[in-house]
Structures are given as structure tokens and as C-alpha cells.
């Protein structure tokens, strides 16, 4: 047993000390995995158990003012990530085809590392999305897709910042932050101009953007398989590609159910309208038949009335 524990400790030290990037290992929330594990445990416990129980007999909080500030800051933060990524691509010569991680201390290398850490911090802040749902009693929006996506992004953000802060993975932050800038702009508009947001023609396109994002990330990582000389670690494909394929399928299922419901599962209001129209049509047909009967046999009609 003692030998097993010693081997486990040696493996832990090897992975989280020797294999990690020394530049980021002392940064906030980038040390050992314990802090991330505690954060995600607290998040899942609150949004799935404690929070709903605390709010069960309480009125939903009105968080409009807080969320206006929150969403506006999210837009600004997302645009900052986009700006940093574009600087790496257009000014520092980053390649979209294959970009190894620079573990040095040059300005470009540190810009990439700092950008990864900032993006990781942003994913932690994103957890407030679910907390706000709980406090506003929007339980229907706390779906498996929502919780899985937020949890997965924390894990990817932590591991990327700890081991590979830079290189090929910059594209993930760029694509995701562009989408998030649009998403949080939509959330901001929904609060400031609710009537416009309710009838917003662009909602469907936001989901389409998310699906395109996942497809682009899959292609971006898969291409390095066909580049034997690419020095970016290829094991990352086994993590990033399945994750984004799975998320893409989940988002596609949401997209299909939301914007293209099956005819067999018609919306309640449609069914009620059709039922009402059917009854009205039946009544009109019956009245027409009765009138025709009286027109053809008036004596028989009068006899029926007397008999009644």
C-alpha cells in the first residue's frame, strides 16, 4: 500500500510539476488540481441541489441591473481575448495550420500565456450564468447541455493554461470569444430592449454560429494529424475533437428541437387552433345540410318541428 501511494505521489509530481509550464504554474487557479476540483464541486452542488432548494419557497430575484453590468463586461472581456488572439496571428506570425507552444519568456510567448490565463478566468466568471438562472428561478435553462458546457470549459481552460498556454490552441479562444461577444450582446439587448429581443430574428443564427465554431475547432485540430513535422502535441486531438463533436451534436439537437419541431409534436396553441377550426367547419357543414334538407322537403321539416 505504501509503495502504491508513493508511486501515485511521484506520478502527481511528474504531471503537475515537471510537465507543467513553469511560467504559469504559480498563477491564480493554475497550481494543483485541488482548487479546480473544489470550484466545480461547489458549482455543481449549488446549481443542481442547494440553490434550487434555497429558492423553492422564495420569489425570484430581480437581477436586471446586475446583469446589465455583467453582460456588458462579458462583451468587453470577450473582445479583449479576440484582440489578443488577432495580435498573435497578424503581428507575431502565428500560423493557423500548425503553431507549437513557445515556452520562452519573449513578449509574444508571454502574451499568449497571459491570454490563456485571462480566457480561463473568463470561463470561471461564466459560471455566474448558471447562478443567475438559479436566483431568478429559471430552472428550465439549467439543462444538461448548459452545465456540461460550462464544466468542460473550466477543465479545458485549466489544463491549457497549466500545460500548453499558447500555440495551436489560441484559435479556440479566438473562435469561442467571437461567439460569446455576440451571445452576451444578445443577453444585454434582452434586458434593455425585451420587445426587440423577443422578436429577434437573429436568435437562430446565434446557435448556428456556435455549431460552426465547434466544426471549425474540430477541423483546426484534426489537420495537424496530416502534418508529421508539426511540433504541437497530437494527444490534444483526443481531447479537443471528441469534446467539440459532442457539444456540436448537443447544440444541433437543441437547434432542431427549438427551430424545427416535428409535425407530430405540434405546439399546443397550434393544436388548439386546429381543433377550434375543425369544430367551426363541422358546424358550418351541419347547418348547410340542414338548410338543404328544409329546402328540398319543407313539409317534412315542419312535421319534424311539430313532432319535437
Residue 195 belongs to some domain of the structure = yes
* Domain around 176: 63-264
The string of DSSP letters for 227-278 reads -TT--S-GGGHHHHHHHHHHHHHHHHHHHHHHHS--GGG--HHHHHHHHHHH
How many distinct structural domains can be found in the chain? 1
- Would you say residue 279 has pLDDT above 80? no
**pLDDT value for 265:** 55
Classify burial at 56, counting beta carbons within 10 Å of its beta carbon; exposed 0-12, middle 13-18, buried 19 or more.
exposed
Residue 284 belongs to some domain of the structure = no
Q: What is the mean pLDDT of the chain?
A: 86
**pLDDT value for 261:** 80
Of 149, 168, 180, 220, the catalytic one is 149
> pLDDT digits over 22-54, tens only?
999 999 999 999 999 999 999 999 999 999 999
> pLDDT digits over 103-117, tens only?
999 999 999 999 999
**pLDDT value for 272:** 40
**pLDDT value for 262:** 72
Average pLDDT over residues 269-290: 43
150 part of the active site? no
Residue 242 belongs to some domain of the structure = yes
- Would you say residue 282 has pLDDT above 60? no
Residue 307 belongs to some domain of the structure = no
Residue 34 belongs to some domain of the structure = no
Average pLDDT over residues 271-277: 42
pTM: 0.82
Residue 270 belongs to some domain of the structure = no
Average pLDDT over residues 259-283: 50
Residue 177 belongs to some domain of the structure = yes
Residue 209 belongs to some domain of the structure = yes
Amino acid at each position: 500500500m505504501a509503495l502504491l501511494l508513493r508511486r501515485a505521489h511521484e506520478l502527481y509530481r511528474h504531471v503537475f510539476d515537471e510537465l507543467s509550464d513553469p511560467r504559469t504554474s504559480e498563477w491564480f487557479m493554475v497550481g494543483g488540481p485541488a482548487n479546480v476540483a473544489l470550484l466545480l464541486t461547489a458549482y455543481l452542488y449549488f446549481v443542481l441541489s442547494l440553490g434550487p432548494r434555497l429558492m423553492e419557497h422564495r420569489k425570484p430575484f430581480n437581477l436586471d441591473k446586475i446583469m446589465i453590468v455583467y453582460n456588458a463586461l462579458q462583451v468587453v472581456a470577450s473582445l479583449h481575448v479576440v484582440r489578443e488572439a488577432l495580435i498573435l496571428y497578424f503581428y507575431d506570425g502565428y500560423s493557423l495550420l500548425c503553431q507549437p507552444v513557445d515556452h520562452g519568456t519573449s513578449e509574444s510567448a508571454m502574451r499568449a500565456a497571459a491570454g490563456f490565463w485571462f480566457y480561463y478566468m473568463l470561463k470561471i466568471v461564466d459560471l455566474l450564468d448558471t447562478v443567475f438562472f438559479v436566483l431568478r428561478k429559471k430552472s428550465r435553462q439549467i439543462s444538461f447541455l448548459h452545465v456540461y458546457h460550462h464544466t468542460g470549459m473550466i477543465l479545458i481552460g485549466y489544463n491549457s493554461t497549466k500545460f500548453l498556454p499558447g500555440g495551436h490552441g489560441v484559435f479556440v479562444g479566438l473562435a469561442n470569444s467571437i461567439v460569446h461577444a455576440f451571445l452576451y450582446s444578445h443577453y444585454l439587448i434582452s434586458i434593455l430592449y425585451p420587445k426587440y429581443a423577443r422578436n429577434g430574428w437573429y436568435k437562430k443564427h446565434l446557435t448556428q454560429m456556435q455549431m460552426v465554431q465547434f466544426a471549425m475547432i474540430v477541423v483546426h485540430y484534426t489537420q495537424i494529424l496530416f502534418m508529421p513535422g508539426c511540433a504541437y502535441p497530437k494527444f490534444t486531438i483526443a481531447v479537443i475533437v471528441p469534446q467539440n463533436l459532442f457539444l456540436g451534436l448537443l447544440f444541433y439537437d437543441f437547434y432542431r428541437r427549438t427551430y424545427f419541431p416535428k409535425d407530430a409534436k405540434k405546439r399546443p396553441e397550434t393544436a388548439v387552433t386546429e381543433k377550434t377550426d375543425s369544430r367551426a367547419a363541422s358546424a358550418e357543414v351541419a347547418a348547410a345540410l340542414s338548410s338543404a334538407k328544409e329546402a328540398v322537403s319543407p313539409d317534412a321539416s315542419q312535421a319534424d318541428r311539430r313532432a319535437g
